[in-house]
Structure 1
Amino acid sequence: MVSYRKRGNAWQYEISYKDQNGKYKKLRKSGFLLKSEAILAASKVQTEHPNLTTVKSGSESLVSYYKRWIQVYKQNAVTPITYNKYQNTAKHAIELFGDLKLKDLTKLIYQERLNEFAKTHARRTVSCFHKQLRACILEALDEKIITTDPTRKAVITGQERPKMAKTLNYADWTKLLRYLNTSQIGEMIIYLAAVTGMRYGEIVGLTSNDIDLENKLINVNKAWDYKYKTGFMKTKTRSSVREIAIDSETSRKLDKFLECHASEPNRPIFMNAAGHILVSAEINKVLTEKLAELKIPRITFHGLRHTHASILLYKGVSVLSVSRRLGHSNITTTQSTYLHIIKELESQDQDKIIAILNNISK
């Protein structure tokens, strides 16, 4: 039921309704110069919010709604690491949106705050932030708490990181391997990444039980959460559980390393005496300093994985074998990641095919 009355020089509408508990509530709004304006506004509210409870929900702040949303929809549905990312988004949202109410969030405001975030973050980070926040806002749209999508057609920008090589060439790769001091934890980790293509979490999750020196195999069956320090965790995908064959030199270096760094069977072999495992920033620092010392172009630690795969492909190892060694979920992932190399190799194969056919008539 709607009623109207004039208060001073302005009109007010009052809508009576029952809340979710069956109790009568009243929704009032004043400040209309004409009664017709109050009637039009009340009609719009009733059309957009048939049960009227969502009108009150719109007074909740965006950050508060987002926190409740991730707790209900994400906490028990994603891994602890992924949930932590959603929580980080909440921290950024507090800085950007403060106590801004859902009903007051417009496309312009959203884009302005997104642009502000982009001033100090990489484009990929901004995209992830937008993706997580937008999913929550669309939920509010579905619940009719808001009537339009303020994130629609948002423009994603961000800081461009300085470009660096993604992989080492064969000469620099072999040079790096020759000059690594594999008695040191950090440099042994780098060596293993370069000769196996393992992910960082997989390497630092290795225990002595995972290393079969007799058969020259490394068993990848878990990873280590070096970022949030929750301990052992599952590998990235089911296909990441695999056996990786190693050469005699790598086997010898591992044997010597294990002698110098004896540890319990279920304790990570790269955990130091203080119980610390290097985080990604620390291992990248070790790698950067080593590459600078050897006058080799800088790459990231993950670039060692790409280097390993690229060299195997260039040396004629099949895409299927490389895919299995890397622990990719399917061969399509490998093909898409190393498409430029595969195309180059296909071009070389075409030349070989023509050469074979040309020899038929000779």
Structure 2
Amino acid sequence: MVSIVKRGSTYRAQISLYKHGEHKKLTKSFTSKKEAQRWALENELEKGNGKQLAERNTTFADFFENWMYVIKKNDVKETTFQNYIRTSKIVRNLFQDIQLKDLNDIVIQRKIDEYAKTHSKKTTHEVLLKIKTALRDAYFRGYLTNDFAGLVKTRGKELPKRNKALSIMDFKKLRTYVLEHSDREFNLLVLVALETGMRRGELLGIRKEDLFEYGIKVRRSISPTSTDTSLKTKNSKRDVSINKEVYDLLNQLVAKDNGYLFDPDGFQQSAKLSKLLKKLDIDRTTFHGLRDTHASFLFSQEIDIAYVSQRLGHINIQTTQNYYLQLMPEKKHQQDADALNLLNSLSS
């Protein structure tokens, strides 16, 4: 049994224990109710049976926030945890005072559909995944009577992909321009993105000691929301080869006071890229789209998919196939022609 009582300016949390045949109580005071709830959750989990936690009249919003801090915080990268914090605010706004005992798949589906009215299907899916994880945890701990998370579906608008790969023609046009104007630091950043397929945070994390002849050691990633510089996955740690021309240009850069070659510049790279692409009359994409362009170009040139996957730092080849290897328009047209020629040959 959990009890949280406000006493003056503090909150006293109390949980019941059953040890050696005796009922005992564990009590501690905190300056905020949230701290008291998290302490109670942590200690209830340690009791081993997990059935008494916070009872079923706890609101889902409170459960999600407590679960996030106690269970997820130490299991995920800091930047990923920031996503959980943002989701927690969404959960609180959507579910408000709805309690665990009142949850079922219809309630969750209605709330998700409400959110989907103003958000893309991709964004809605990412929020729902975190909600489902929390629901399953609540079920396994005995706070929900049914495991209904799998019944809830993602809906929402299918928005045009922002991270789309450039055509081969636009890829060459952009590469030529930034190479010829590489005296500007931002242009050199774009060039390295096109040459390596590195993520934006990985590009901003390059230090002088990461350069080798001829390549870049990917060892850290810079984030606008966290001081954590660890890479996205263990496979993200890799060495990416570059040509001599790009290597020489990088070597000419003087490291900033913090040791990095590129200035984060308020993480406005996508806005700057948009202006550059507009100037060159190239279809808009994002910095992640440059990564997609790099992968798609290699794929269009018959580069082995295992190499492309390793170069991008993917956890497995399936990730590369699912998300990055889109056919560039010119390659698709050629493939269409080849396919028709094969079919036509059957009747000759």
Which TM-score bucket, shorter chain as reference? Answer: 0.7 to 0.9
Secondary structure of the equivalent of 1:148?
A: coil
Q: Contact 1:165/1:297 (CA < 8 Å) preserved in 2?
A: no
Shift of 1:341: 4.5
In 2 relative to 1, CA 232–171 (structure 1 residues): closer, same or farther, beyond 3 Å?
A: same
Question: Which consecutive unaligned segments of at least 5 residues does structure 1 have?
Answer: 1-18, 25-50, 355-362
- Show structure 1 runs of 4+ deviating over 6 A: 342-348
Q: Confirm or deny that 1:232 pairs with 2:229.
A: yes
| Structure 1 residue aligned with 2:172 | 174
| Structure 2 residue aligned with 1:252 | 248
In 2 relative to 1, CA 122–293 (structure 1 residues): closer, same or farther, beyond 3 Å?
A: same
In 2 relative to 1, CA 140–308 (structure 1 residues): closer, same or farther, beyond 3 Å?
A: closer
| Structure 2 residue aligned with 1:305 | 291
- TM-score (norm: length of structure 2): 0.73
Q: Contact 2:78/2:228 (CA < 8 Å) preserved in 1?
A: no
| Structure 1 residue aligned with 2:256 | 263
Q: Contact 1:197/1:326 (CA < 8 Å) preserved in 2?
A: yes
Distance 1:104 1:111 in 2: 13
In 2 relative to 1, CA 136–320 (structure 1 residues): closer, same or farther, beyond 3 Å?
A: closer
In 2 relative to 1, CA 137–186 (structure 1 residues): closer, same or farther, beyond 3 Å?
A: same
Distance 1:339 1:277 in 2: 30
- TM-score (norm: length of structure 1): 0.70
Secondary structure of the equivalent of 2:166?
A: coil
Shift of 1:337: 4.3
Question: Which consecutive unaligned segments of at least 5 residues does structure 2 have?
Answer: 1-15, 25-48, 343-348
Distance 2:62 2:108 in 1: 16
Percentage of identical aligned residues:
31
Answer with 1 or 2: which has the greater Rg: 1
In 2 relative to 1, CA 140–277 (structure 1 residues): closer, same or farther, beyond 3 Å?
A: same
Q: How does 1:93-132 map to 2 (within 5 A)?
A: 93-132=91-130
Deviation readout 1:143-201 (Å, 9 max, x if unpaired): 33332345452232123323457211222112112222333333222111011111111
Q: Contact 2:170/2:282 (CA < 8 Å) preserved in 1?
A: yes
In 2 relative to 1, CA 110–182 (structure 1 residues): closer, same or farther, beyond 3 Å?
A: same
Deviation readout 1:64-109 (Å, 9 max, x if unpaired): 1122222232122222222222222211111111122212234433
Q: What letter matches 1:267 in structure 2?
A: G
Q: Confirm or deny that 1:140 pairs with 2:138.
A: yes
Distance 1:310 1:238 in 2: 23
Secondary structure of the equivalent of 1:232?
A: coil
Q: What letter matches 1:79 in structure 2?
A: K
Q: Contact 1:187/1:286 (CA < 8 Å) preserved in 2?
A: no
| Structure 2 residue aligned with 1:86 | 84
Distance 2:82 2:176 in 1: 39
Deviation readout 1:297-317 (Å, 9 max, x if unpaired): 112211111211222232343
Shift of 1:269: 1.3
Shift of 1:335: 4.1
Q: Contact 1:208/1:263 (CA < 8 Å) preserved in 2?
A: no
| Structure 1 residue aligned with 2:190 | 190
Report the number of matched residues: 292
Distance 1:165 1:144 in 2: 42
Distance 2:122 2:163 in 1: 18
| Segment drifting more, 200-209 vs 170-179 | 170-179
Q: Contact 1:172/1:296 (CA < 8 Å) preserved in 2?
A: yes
